[in-house]
Amino acid sequence: MQDMLLHWSPRSPFVRTVMIAAHECGLADRIETVRTVVAASQPNTELMKENPQSRLPTLRLADGTVVYDSPVICEYFDMLAGGGKLFPQDFPERLVALRRQSLGDGMLDTLLMWRGEATRPPAQQSIKHMQAWRLKTKVSVDALEEQADGLGASQFSIGHIALGVALGYVDFRFPELKWRDGHPKLTAWHTTFEARPSTKTNTPVDEP
C-alpha cells in the first residue's frame, strides 16, 4: 500500500539516490511518485507549500509530515527498515559511510553548478568557475580510485549509493570527461554498483 508521496524527477541525481535507498530498504512499493518540475531560476510555487526551498526530492508522509532533502529522506527510510541497513550504527563503519556520502553529495553539488553554468549563453559563462569544478571532479575521482578496494570490501551503505550516483551523473551529463580512463579499480566497482537491481530500476532519463 502506497502511503508516501515523493516529488520526483527522472533526471535528478538526488531523487535517484532516494529511490535507490527506498529499493534497498524494501520500501519502493510504499511510494507514489509525482513528476515535479523545478528550476533554479523559476521556483515551483506549489512545491514551495511543502518545501520552501522548492527542491527535489521532497517526501510527504500519510499524516502530512514533509521530509527533505535526500540525506534526511534516506535516513528516514533506513529507520523504517529497522535501522542499520544503509546507515551503520557502529563506529568507525558509520563514520566511513557518512564521509563517503558527503563526498558523493558534494560531487553532485559541484556537477550541478557546473551543469547550470554550462547551459548559460557562452558570453555569460564563468570559465574560472567551470575550471574549478572540473578540477574538483577530477581530484575526487582520483581519490576514489585510491579508495576503490575499500569500497568493494565494505558493507553496502548510503556512502556507496552517494558515490555511485555521483559517478553515474558524470556519465549522464559529462560523458566527455571519460572518468573511467586511468581508474580501473573504480570502474570495476561502479560496474557492480550499476548492476544492482535497485540501481538498474532507477536510471537517469533526460525527459522534460
Angle at 128 between CA 122 and CA 133, to 5 degrees: 100
pLDDT at residue 1 is higher than 80: no
Q: In what order do the strands lie in the sheet with 58-61?
A: 31-35, 4-8, 58-61, 66-67
Q: Could you say which DSSP state residue 155 is in? A: P
Close Cβ partners of 137 (under 8 Å, ≥ 6 residues apart): 107, 110, 111, 114, 170, 174, 177, 179
pLDDT (tens digit per residue) in 17-57: 999 999 999 999 999 999 999 998 899 999 999 999 999 99
Instruction: Label residue 47 left, alpha or beta by phi (over 0 means left) and psi (-120 to 50 means alpha).
Output: alpha
Q: pLDDT band at 208, cuts 50/70/90?
A: low
Strand, coil or helix: 6: strand
**Whole-angstrom distance, CA of residue 98 vs CA of residue 107:** 14
Question: CA torsion angle for 181, 182, 183, 188 (degrees, to 10)?
Answer: 70
Mean pLDDT over 96-111 rounds to 98
Contact 198, 23 (CB under 8 A): yes
Residue with the three cell numbers 511510494: 31
At 8 the pLDDT is 96
What are residue 35's DSSP bridge partners?
Answer: 8
pTM of the model: 0.97
User: How many C-beta neighbours within 10 Å does residue 156 have?
Assistant: 17
The CA distance from 144 to 197, in Å, is 23
Q: Per-residue pLDDT averaged across 97-121, rounded?
A: 97
Q: Is 206 a residue whose pLDDT tops 80?
A: yes
